[in-house]
Amino acid sequence: MFKIKNAFKKKPKNVNQYGWFGNFNSWNEAKSSAFGYEASNILEKTKQSLLKIKNGEAIYERDSVLFDKKEYPYSIISSLLYIAIKNNNKLNVVDFGGSLGSTWFQVRDFIPSEIEVSWSIVEQAAYIDEGKKYFADDVLDFYYTIEDCIAAKKNVNVVLLSSVVQYLEKPHEFLDQLSSYQIDYLLFDRTAFINEPSLDRLTLQIVPPEIYEARYPSWFFNEARFLNHFSSYQLKADFFSFVEGERFMSIDHKVVAYDKGFLFEKKK
């Protein structure tokens, strides 16, 4: 009788079914429940939103969603201006995982015209193809790999990584490789960390359908382990995410995580 009664108990109405869940043992285990990362509809929605930004028909986009009010990533803006000043007003950015130029469109209002800007996106092949076709101009260009971009540009002075490292299958291998390039500055934003004493935690992110329908494997890093990748760099600044709701983040409905950013400068 007890089991029957509990079977018909009402579920709480306010439990959010979207967000981050689980503690997976492997990427393949998490990926078995995932979908959407390479979906063409997400790329198309992102493209259409950013074309409206580019053409002046909308004012702000983030994660493919259009907003009627701008939210500026001031920590990123101030970091980029610092780098430009240190490089004779030249800013040569590799934006890894930069979609079709989202961050550039967010920060460009604060980059003075006297600063010479080159902004290169490195993304999935489908994004690069669309980027070259619809968004490339005298500032924005698109490359399939960081190596291709470095070879073409030769004077890259900063790699920007915003809300991207936690979606890589092998993030620590990538971070070691990134550090080995010895680019003068590394700028992270909206990178996920865990408050728990565990090393890292692998979760499944379920995206609200009003953004788009998708489920992604998503890492939350141990901050000390993350920072250990950059022994050849000086930490110039750290900062919390500018996005509302990302300073304190929940996994399985418990507040145990946070998004954070860092500016690293190569040691002389």
Burial of 66 (0-12, 13-18, 19+ CB in 10 A): middle
Domain positions in the chain: 17-266
Q: Residue 38's pLDDT is what? A: 65
pTM equals: 0.90
Q: Residue 183's pLDDT is what? A: 97
Q: Residue 212's pLDDT is what? A: 84
Mean residue pLDDT across the chain: 91
d(CA 72, CA 107): 7
Q: What is the pLDDT along the chain (268 residues), one digit of tens a residue?
A: 333 334 334 444 556 899 999 999 999 999 998 887 667 888 988 999 999 998 989 888 888 888 888 889 999 999 999 999 999 999 999 999 999 999 999 999 999 999 999 999 999 999 999 999 999 999 999 999 999 999 998 899 999 999 999 999 999 999 999 999 999 999 999 999 999 887 899 999 999 888 888 899 999 999 999 999 999 999 999 999 998 888 999 999 999 999 999 999 999 8
Closest to 162 measured CA to CA, from 131, 211, 123: 123
Q: Residue 14's pLDDT is what? A: 59
Sign, Cα dihedral of 163, 200, 21, 260 = negative
CATH homologous superfamily for 17-266? Vaccinia Virus protein VP39 (3.40.50.150)
**Backbone φ, ψ for residue 159 (5° rounding):** -110, 125
Q: Residue 27's pLDDT is what? A: 96
d(CA 115, CA 82): 11
Contact yes or no for 128/121 (Cβ under 8 A): yes
d(CA 165, CA 188): 9
Distance (Å) of CA 238 to CA 69, 76, 77, 99, 224: 26, 10, 13, 23, 13
User: What is the residue whose two structure tokens read 């040569």?
Assistant: 92
Count of beta carbons in the 10 Å neighbourhood of residue 10? 5
Count of beta carbons in the 10 Å neighbourhood of residue 184? 18
Q: Residue 33's pLDDT is what? A: 87
Q: What three-state secondary structure class fits 189?
A: strand
Contacts of 89 (CB under 8 A, 6+ apart): 114, 115, 116
Question: Residue 87 CA to chain centroid, in angstroms?
Answer: 25
Contact yes or no for 115/183 (Cβ under 8 A): no
Sign, Cα dihedral of 268, 259, 164, 173 = positive
Q: Residue 213's pLDDT is what? A: 85
d(CA 186, CA 62): 22
Q: Residue 226's pLDDT is what? A: 97
